[in-house]
Amino acid sequence: MDLKSGLPYPLIKDGLPFSYPQLDKDISTDVAIMGAGISGALMRYYLIKAGIDCVIVDARTAGLGSTSASTSLLQYEIDTPLHQLCEMIGKSNAEKAFHLCNDAITTLGKIAGELNFEEFEYKNSLYFATFKKDLSFLQKEFEARKNAGFDVSFIEKETIKKKYGIDSPAAILSKHGAQTNAYGFTHKLLQYRKNKGEVFDRSPISKVKETKSGVELNTEKGYKIKAKKLVYATGYEVTEILKDKVVDLKSTYAIVSEQFNQADFWEDDVLLWNTADPYLYLRTTFDNRIIVGGRDEDFFDNAKRDKLLPGKSRQLATDFQKLFPDIPFKTEFSWTGTFGSTKDGLPYIGAHPKFPNSYFALGFGGNGITFSVIAAKMITDLISGRKNNDADIFSFNRK
């Protein structure tokens, strides 16, 4: 499956900052990680921190899957609003899931600081109503977040227009979010303690065999990786392995403007997203550009997804100009990527009954990066023999 097409801005900007070898020998390790995107890179980081021997292997060049197409908004909100998630999985678990995402943002900030990765910045987030009919929904969501302990404010129409230049009936301002560069962050993570946790890319795995003592992975060129445990961090391609209907695949589209001379576009350059379905999302970049994403479609095949890119790009530019008619947006890069949504908006993390020596770090949904932090922490606990009290929220066995 091709996970993206077009010209993803992060890939254009950063190119191939580091190179990694192909696997050209048989190796043994405690944990093999399949997938060298942001999920696999965070998994490797946590395992190394825990003193667990690991290797990471990817069929592509590292980071060139969904990670390079990420628009890298970091929000504690998941795709299912909190008040609706409370009804689906219970108030305690729903609030816990949101708080875990909130904590993950702080964790990512600390990791970025440790690694001297400069493209991480805390931002407020504005969730604004698209239509007047969305007011009741937005009020319910505000009350749910406030009661859960989040630092939120309900903003009225006049204030939204004055501060952010947007015509909207109401909005929720959240005081904790961030933006980053998932592609650059991934490579920074993969460089962490290079003598530990070897990284191999361009080494497709043709066969995975579960054994009594662990797993055995065979590459297309005939080399073997023997491991006690395997972590699948392959994102949406894992659907071909699981054979279970755990995610509905979607196509999303994104555009990036030419570089502006100005550095400020709206107050605090907050992260912006709206109540439309599918929702529109916007953020600024570290080099004074604007990213606009959305216009999602059900995914059927790569060709159909890619054929829609020119039209979707024009629509996204129009969407932006309707919001900000005085900002002269001119598209320089556009791309499309594949993502997935689950029944409750939550990721699948942990063990699967069909794979006794494997764990899954599947950050499905719009919060893939924060979900990847949760997965890395949780799976490291499980591999280390520690109980994780939150594992049931994201398990394959949840109702």
Residue 275 · residue 128 · CB < 8 Å: yes
- What average pLDDT does the segment 53-75 reach? 95
Taking 90 as the threshold, does the pLDDT of residue 339 lie above it? no
- Are 295 and 366 in a shared domain? no
Distances (CA, A) of 101 to 311, 323, 369: 33, 28, 9
Look at residues 71, 72, 95 and name the one whose alpha carbon lies nearest to residue 83: 95
Boundary of a domain, candidates 305, 321, 341: 341
Taking 80 as the threshold, does the pLDDT of residue 236 lie above it? no
Q: Check residue 3 and give its pLDDT.
A: 53
Q: Check residue 63 and give its pLDDT.
A: 95
- Are 196 and 52 in a shared domain? yes
Query: Computed from CA positions of residues 356, 201, 299, 302, in that sequence, does the dihedral angle turn out positive or negative?
Result: negative
- Are 286 and 297 in a shared domain? yes
- Are 350 and 337 in a shared domain? no
**pLDDT one-digit tens code per residue, 150-161:** 999 999 999 999
CA 292 to chain centre: 16
* Alpha-carbon span 75 to 69, nearest angstrom: 17
- 85: which 2 tokens? 């998630």
- Are 310 and 192 in a shared domain? no
Give a yes or no: residue 333 inside a domain.
yes
Which residue reads 């900052």 in tokens?
17
Taking 60 as the threshold, does the pLDDT of residue 58 lie above it? yes
Q: Check residue 301 and give its pLDDT.
A: 83
- What average pLDDT does the segment 326-354 reach? 92
Q: What is the mean pLDDT of the chain?
A: 94
Output the domain CATH number for residue 62. Answer: 3.50.50.60
- Are 227 and 312 in a shared domain? no
Give a yes or no: residue 227 inside a domain.
yes
- What percent of the chain has pLDDT above 70? 98
pLDDT band at 4 (very low <50, low <70, confident <90, very high): low
* Strand, helix or coil for residue 391: helix
Taking 60 as the threshold, does the pLDDT of residue 2 lie above it? no
- Are 303 and 357 in a shared domain? no
Q: Check residue 341 and give its pLDDT.
A: 84
What is the extent of the structural domain holding 21?
4-69+184-245+345-394
Boundary of a domain, candidates 297, 322, 341: 341
- Are 324 and 264 in a shared domain? yes
**pLDDT one-digit tens code per residue, 66-117:** 899 999 999 999 999 999 999 999 999 999 999 999 999 999 999 999 999 9
- Are 253 and 199 in a shared domain? no
* Alpha-carbon span 42 to 347, nearest angstrom: 16
> In sequence order, which residues have a C-beta less than 8 Å from that of residue 321 and are 6 or more positions away?
327, 329
- What average pLDDT does the segment 242-268 reach? 88
Domain count for the chain, please give it: 2
* Strand, helix or coil for residue 234: coil
Taking 70 as the threshold, does the pLDDT of residue 1 lie above it? no
Look at residues 131, 381, 163 and name the one whose alpha carbon lies nearest to residue 267: 163
- Are 293 and 353 in a shared domain? no
Taking 70 as the threshold, does the pLDDT of residue 391 lie above it? yes
> In sequence order, which residues have a C-beta less than 8 Å from that of residue 29 and are 6 or more positions away?
53, 54, 55, 225, 226, 227, 228
Residue 276 · residue 247 · CB < 8 Å: no
Taking 90 as the threshold, does the pLDDT of residue 54 lie above it? yes
- Are 12 and 54 in a shared domain? yes
- Are 229 and 256 in a shared domain? no
**pLDDT one-digit tens code per residue, 159-213:** 999 999 999 999 999 999 999 999 999 999 999 998 888 999 999 999 999 998 9
Of the candidate ranges 79-83, 218-222, 235-239, 281-285, the one whose mean pLDDT is the lowest:
235-239
**pLDDT one-digit tens code per residue, 289-329:** 999 999 999 887 888 889 999 999 999 999 999 999 999 99
Q: Check residue 238 and give its pLDDT.
A: 78
Give a yes or no: residue 106 inside a domain.
no
